């Protein structure tokens, strides 16, 4: 498995909203003899409950079509990527809104 994780040709089959769901997806793929790994990057360091962006589920290129089908059946979603793709812009928008609010509050504080 360690060699598999180091492969440079892995392809994202979908996003998972959190680590627990990612592990469930990987377990489901393993039941069908498909190796998969999750890429979480810095999200793994902080573990703030739900991950900010989610986890990428990566598979070998030759397993991509079958992996997509398995995850569609598991999630009931026509495209396993679709829901997570929409959550990334929402997350970015939420972070921008929070930053703007923080700047406004700091400006108000400096005026008082």
pTM here? 0.60
Using CB atoms within 10 Å of the CB of residue 13, give its burial: 0 to 12 exposed, 13 to 18 middle, 19+ buried. buried
Residue 48 burial by CB count (10 A; 0-12/13-18/19+): exposed, middle or buried? Answer: exposed
% of the chain residues with pLDDT over 70 = 73
2-111: CATH class = alpha beta
Two structure tokens written together for 29:
């793929």
Domain ranges of the chain: 2-111
pLDDT in tens, 42-83: 444 444 544 456 788 999 999 999 999 999 988 876 655 544
Neighbour order of strands in the sheet with 55-59: 11-16, 55-59, 36-39
Round to whole Å and give the CA distance between 36 and 44: 17
């Amino acid at each position: 498995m360690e060699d598999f994780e180091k492969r440079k040709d892995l392809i994202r089959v979908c996003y998972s909203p959190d680590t627990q769901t990612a592990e469930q997806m990987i377990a489901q793929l393993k039941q069908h003899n498909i190796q998969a790994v999750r890429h979480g990057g810095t999200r793994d360091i902080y573990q703030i409950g739900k991950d900010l962006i989610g986890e990428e589920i990566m598979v070998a290129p030759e397993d991509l079509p079958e992996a997509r089908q398995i995850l569609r059946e598991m999630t009931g979603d026509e495209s396993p990527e679709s829901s997570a793709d929409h959550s990334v812009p929402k997350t970015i928008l939420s972070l921008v809104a929070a930053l703007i609010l923080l700047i406004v509050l700091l400006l108000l504080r400096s005026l008082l």
